[in-house]
Amino acid sequence: MSQKPFVSAQEVAERAGVSRSAVSRTFTPGASVSPETRRRVVEAADALGYHVNHLARGLMLSESGIVCLIVSDMGTPYRSSLIRAVTQQLQDAGKIAMLINTDRSDGSVDLALRQAIRYRADASIILSGMPDKSITQLCLKNGQRLVLINRDDDQEGPFRINLDDAAAAGRLVTAFLRAGCRRLAFANSEAGTPSLMAREHGFIAAAKAIGLEVVVERYGPTGYESGRVLAQRLLTQSERPDAVFCATDLIACGFMDAARHQFSIAIPGQLCVAGFDDIEQAAWSSYELTTFAQPVEAIAREAVTWLGKDGSDDPAERIHSVRLNADLVWRSSIRGG
């Protein structure tokens, strides 16, 4: 690398024949600079290819503009669409996203948060496993703000964005009923995250309320393959279910594929299926899956606007939690509608 890779404000100042402070002020909104000085600075800056060093600026302001996204399974349709929405909104708000992958081990969320602290990220948004309580405390103590999406953690301090999973699951029971279904089943993964469990419990509770039992099966990670295995298990039972709520669209896709191609079951003729997330594939005509839409854009907006608020106001008064609802998207994997 060459000696002077980046051009500094000093050099711009010299070329423009002003002081370095003038340069700094030119690029600081709201600072007092005469039009003439500004013109000369901008000209010199363009000529030299100058760009404010955000590292140094972050050092001064103790506000880096960096927000950490801590994510697992980011190849997954739902996750990637959420990442997309959040980064876009962050950019619109003048911030920038750092991406940390936590697929490896379980302590990797903690490692990721440490990394976030090292880069003095203003905040971290967590879309994956739950961080240790000690770590979140460390973050908060370091002045870093925390957003938990669908983590449903009851810790104090972080801002939590959740869905009304249970309520949504409850509404689905009614829908199945209207379609004439009686033998309900729930296909879940073994991940056991709060949102998945809320869907399961909400579904069971609503069914019980009208006197119906739910067959629950859990298997593997939250993905397509698990859906196939779950179909294997649920569709070979003596009394085969006529309605299955899959905890996730990916599971639902696997389930439907196995049901149709392996067991030759007609959907929705002999079996109604619903999912959760409304991933792009749910709308594909091989699935036409009735599902609950994750309000991805709303989640992202909620997170970013909260970050935009100044944290200096009364902490007791600050909102620490928001619950959004997931709308049911009707497609033909359930009869009627």
CB of 109 to DNA, least distance (A): 23
Nearer to a second copy, 181 or 307 (CB): 307
Nearer to a second copy, 227 or 241 (CB): 227
22 binds, among a second copy, DNA, none (CB under 5 to 8 A by kind): DNA
CB of 158 to DNA, least distance (A): 23
How would DSSP label each residue in 156-203? SSSEEEEE-HHHHHHHHHHHHHHTT--SEEEEE-S---HHHHHHHHHH
User: Which residue in 326, 315, 333, 331 sits closest to 159, CA to CA?
Assistant: 315
CB of 22 to a second copy, least distance (A): 19
Site of interaction with DNA (CB under 7 A)? 4, 6, 8-10, 18-22, 24-25, 27-28, 31-37, 50, 52-53, 56-57, 59-62
Nearer to a second copy, 34 or 118 (CB): 118
Nearer to a second copy, 172 or 252 (CB): 252
User: Which residues is 149 bridged to in the sheet?
Assistant: 161
CB of 224 to DNA, least distance (A): 45
Nearer to DNA, 14 or 297 (CB): 14
Site of interaction with a second copy (CB under 8 A)? 1-2, 5-7, 49, 51-56, 58-59, 62, 64, 66, 69, 74-77, 79-81, 83-84, 87-88, 91, 96-101, 103-104, 114-115, 117-120, 138, 141-144, 224, 228, 253-254, 257-258, 260-262, 280-281, 284-287, 311-312
Using H for helix, E for strand and C for coil, what is the string for 105-153?
CCCHHHHHHHHHHHCCCCEEEECCCCCCHHHHHHHHHCCCEEEEECCCC
User: Which residue in 227, 280, 246 sits closest to 84, CA to CA?
Assistant: 280
Q: For strands 96-101 and 123-126, give the pairing.
A: unpaired
